[in-house]
């Protein structure tokens, strides 16, 4: 890109693509994007005293054109279009960094979701099979290899001193797993006590 002649929009789009490629993640938060690229942004048109506002405006333009999508109302964007992002698959290091940087409660969910068929995850699936443990739930689906998709969940979270032991493990469909972590307190407690009851009777 010829910096001299580039428009603010070209400049911001290229910066977004670089940023997403570097992190191998399409989704970014406006504030982080700004903070991580501030030096470059301020150097683009040094005479402009309000570069951050300018960047935000360009992100809106890019969004109107469909190059970006708004994920939430707090400034989270995701980059669209396969053609403009190389290295589509998240590499493992980026994933590990992503997991490490999450707060403890969120981190646990991410680990449980990404860890497959090793150690405690294997143990839980061997013990409980591949059907969601919530009563009456038939909400699992088959993967390409024919096996059923299921997620392993710690009934008492590890960050609250739960253990990787069979009596603290459960298997849930993706929907119930998300609920177990992110629903309101009352719902989460109901799920927890239901799972404890099932796991306890299974481990007698
Ligand atoms: Zn979980
Ligand atoms: Zn379920």
pLDDT the model gives residue 59: 94
CA of 76 to the centre of ligand 2 (A): 29
Angstrom CA distances, 97 to 21, 114, 170, stand at 15, 13, 26
Residue 67's region, left for phi above 0, alpha for psi from -120 to 50, else beta, is alpha
Query: Residues 195-200: contacts with CB within 8 Å, 24+ apart?
Result: 195/133, 195/153, 195/155, 195/170, 196/155, 198/133, 198/170, 199/155, 199/166, 199/167, 199/168, 199/169, 199/170, 200/167
| Mean pLDDT taken over the chain | 85
CA of 178 to the centre of ligand 2 (A): 10
pLDDT the model gives residue 90: 54
- The burial of 124, by beta-carbon neighbours within 10 Å (0-12 exposed, 13-18 middle, 19 or more buried), is given as buried
- Mean pLDDT lowest for which of 55-59, 135-139, 180-184? 135-139
pLDDT the model gives residue 82: 47
If one looks up domain 8-84 in CATH, what number appears?
1.10.10.10
Please tell me whether the overall predicted TM-score, pTM, comes out greater than 0.85 for this model.
Answer: no
Query: Please, which residues have CB less than 5 A from ligand 1, an ion?
Result: 112, 153
**Cα four-point dihedral sign 177, 179, 180, 182:** positive
- The burial of 58, by beta-carbon neighbours within 10 Å (0-12 exposed, 13-18 middle, 19 or more buried), is given as buried
Q: Could you give the residue range(s) of every CATH 1.10.10.10 domain in the chain? A: 8-84
Query: Please, which residues have CB less than 5 A from ligand 2, an ion?
Result: 132, 134, 137, 139, 173, 176
């Amino acid at each position: 890109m010829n910096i001299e002649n580039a428009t603010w929009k070209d400049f911001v789009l290229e910066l977004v693509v670089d940023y997403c490629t570097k992190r191998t993640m399409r989704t970014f938060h406006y504030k982080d994007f700004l903070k991580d690229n501030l030096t470059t942004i301020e150097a683009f048109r040094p005479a402009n005293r309000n570069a951050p506002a300018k960047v935000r405006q360009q992100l809106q333009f890019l969004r109107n054109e469909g190059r970006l999508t708004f994920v939430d109302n707090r400034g989270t964007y995701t980059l669209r279009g396969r053609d403009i992002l190389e290295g589509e698959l998240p590499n493992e290091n980026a994933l590990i960094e992503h997991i490490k940087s999450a707060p403890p409660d969120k981190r646990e969910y991410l680990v449980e979701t990404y860890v497959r068929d090793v150690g405690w995850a294997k143990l839980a699936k061997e013990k409980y099979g591949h059907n969601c443990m919530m009563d009456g739930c038939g909400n699992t689906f088959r993967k390409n290899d024919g096996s059923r998709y299921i997620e392993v969940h710690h009934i008492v979270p590890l960050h609250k001193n739960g253990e990787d032991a069979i009596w603290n493990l459960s298997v849930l469909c993706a929907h119930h797993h998300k609920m177990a972590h992110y629903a309101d307190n009352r719902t989460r407690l109901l799920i927890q006590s239901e799972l404890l009851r099932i796991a306890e009777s299974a481990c007698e």
